[in-house]
Amino acid sequence: MASTTQRSATAHDDQPLIPPPTQKAKPRLVVGMALAQMGIFVSLLTPIVAGLTIKVQSLVGPDDAVTSLGIVSSAGAIAALIANPVFGRISDRTTSRYGRRRPWLVIGSLGLTASLLLIATAQSVAVVAIGFFIASVFANAALATFTATVADQIPMSQRGKIGGLMGVMQNVAILGSAYSAKFFATQLLLLFMVPGLVGLLLVGVFVMVLPDKRLPRRPPSEGGLRTVLRTFWVSPRRHPDFALVWVSRFLIVLGAALFTTFRLLYLQRDLALSHSEAAAAMATGVLLYTCVLVVSAQAAGWLSDKVGRRKPFIAGATLIFSAGLAMLVQADSVNGFYIAELVLGLGYGVYVGVDLALVIDVLPSPDNASKDLGVFNIANAGPQVIAPGLGALLVNIGGGHNYGLLLGTAAAICLVGVLAVIPLKAR
C-alpha cells in the first residue's frame, strides 16, 4: 500500500502544474504578445542603441565617451545577468489570483519607465549608471516573465512562426530606438520617455488579453541556499542540448554586442560623420536591416515549422551574420555600411526566426520555464557585461579608434558560435 501511494505521489509530482498548450493560440493573444515584445524592447533598447551614448557624450564629451559608456553599459548588463533568472524563478512560483506572469509584467514595466526618467535627468555618469542598473532590473523582471508566456501559451506546432514574429518585433523596436535617436537627439527627456511610455502602453494591452492561469498550488520548496544556487544552474550533463544552445547564443550575442554597443561611435570615428550625420545614418541602416530581417525571420520560422528542423537554420544564419560583420571592416563609406546592414539583417533574421523555438524545444521543465529561460537569458546578458570592456580594449589598441579589430574579433566569435550548434541532438 505504501509503495502504491508513493508511486501515485511521484506520478503526480512529475505532471506539470499547468499543462503545456495543445490548441493554437488565438489571434488576439498573438497580436498582444507581439505588441508587448516591441514595447518592452523599445523601452529597453532605446538607451542601449543610442540613448546612453548621446547622454554620456552630453556629460563627458566624445573623447571620454568610450570608457564611460563601457561602465554604464556593464552596470546594466550585470543587473540583467542577475535579475532575469531570479525574477524568472519568482514568476514560476507566484500564486497571485492575477496569475503568475501578469503581476511581474506590470511591476517591471512601471519600474522601467520610472528608471528611464532618472537616466534622462541625471547630471553625472554615476547617476546614469545607477539609473541604468535599476532600469535593467525592472526590464528583466518584465522580460523574464514575458518570454515564459511564449512557453505557457504557444504549442510546439506554432513556436517557429511565433518565435520568428517575436524576433521581428524585437528588431522593429531597435528600428524605433534608432529613429528616436534621430528625432530626439537634442531632447534627452523625450529620447528616453517617449519610448518608455509607448512600451508601458503596449505591455498594458498584452496584460489585458493574456489568459494567465493561476497556479493550483505552490511548487514544493527546494530549500534555502540550494534553491538560490539552482536558480542560476541547469546541469549540462543532464540537459546537453540546452547547454549547447546556451553556449551558441552566448557567443553570437557577444559578437553582435561588440558592434551594437559602439555602432554610433564607429560611424562617427571610422566613417568621419558628425553627431547628427551618424544618428541619421544609423537610423537608415537599421531600417534596411529591419526590412530584410522581417522577411527572412518570418520565412525561416514558417519553413522551420514545416520541415521540423531548427539546427541548419541557426548554423547558416550565424555564418551570414559573421560575413556581415566582416564586411563592416572593409566599409569605407556610408553606402558600404548600408550594404553590410542588409547582410546582417538577413543573417540575424533567419537566426531570430528559429532561435526561440529551438530554445523552448530544449527547455528542461515546463514548470520551471521562466526560471530556465532566465538561466538562458544569462547568455544574452553575460556578453553585454563583457562587450563594453572588451570592445573598449580592442578599440584602444594601437593608439585608439581601432574599429577594424573590434569588428574582426566580433566576426570570429560568431563563427565559433556555429561550432557549438553542430553536436546538437535536437534537429
What digits encode the pLDDT tens for the residues 73-86?
888 878 887 887 78
pTM of the model: 0.68
Would you say residue 7 has pLDDT above 50?
no
Span 395-414, pLDDT tens digits: 888 766 788 899 999 999 99
pLDDT of residue 2: 43
Q: Decide if pLDDT at 252 tops 50.
A: yes
Q: Which residue has the higher pLDDT, 187 or 157?
A: 187
Q: What's the confidence (pLDDT) of residue 117?
A: 95
Average pLDDT, the chain: 82
| pLDDT beyond 80 at 120 | yes
CATH number assigned to the domain with residue range 26-421, chosen from the 4 options 3.40.50.720, 1.10.10.10, 1.20.1250.20, 3.40.367.20: 1.20.1250.20
Tens of pLDDT, residues 335-361: 999 999 999 999 988 887 787 777 777
Write out the chain in H/E/C secondary structure.
CHHHHHHHHHHHHHCCCCCCCCCCCCHHHHHHHHHHHHHHHHHHHHHHHHHHHHHHHHHHCHHHHHHHHHHHHHHHHHHHHHHHHHHHHHHHCCCCCCCCCHHHHHHHHHHHHHHHHHHHHCCCHHHHHHHHHHHHHHHHHHHHHHHHHHHHHCCHHHHHHHHHHHHHHHHHHHHHHHHHHHHHCCCHHHHHHHHHHHHHHHHHHHHHHCCCCCCCCCCCCCCHHHHHHHHCCCCCCCCHHHHHHHHHHHHHHHHHHHHHCCHHHHHHHCCCCCHHHHHHHHHHHHHHHHHHHHHHHHHHHHHHHHHCCCHHHHHHHHHHHHHHHHHHHHCCCHHHHHHHHHHHHHHHHHHHHHHHHHHHHCCCCCCCHHHHHHHHHHHHHHHHHHHHHHHHHHHHCCCCCCHHHHHHHHHHHHHHHHHHHCCCCCC
pLDDT computed for residue 230 by the predictor: 59
* Residue 314 pLDDT grade (very low, low, confident, very high; cuts 50, 70, 90): confident
What are the angstrom distances between the C-alpha of 313 and each of 229, 270, 291?
A: 34, 33, 19
Q: Does residue 378 have a pLDDT over 50?
A: yes
**pLDDT at residue 245 above 80?**
yes
Evaluate if residue 6 carries a pLDDT over 70: no
pLDDT digits (tens, 9 = 90+) for 225-243: 455 555 566 677 777 888 8
Structure confidence at residue 5 (pLDDT): 42
Residue pair 80/139 in contact by the 8 Å Cβ criterion = yes
Which of 161, 167, 143 has its CA nearest to residue 321?
Answer: 167
Rounded distance between C-alpha atoms, residue 96 and residue 85, angstroms: 19
Higher-confidence position of 216 and 164: 164
Among residues 366, 372, 384, which one has the least CA distance to residue 88? 372
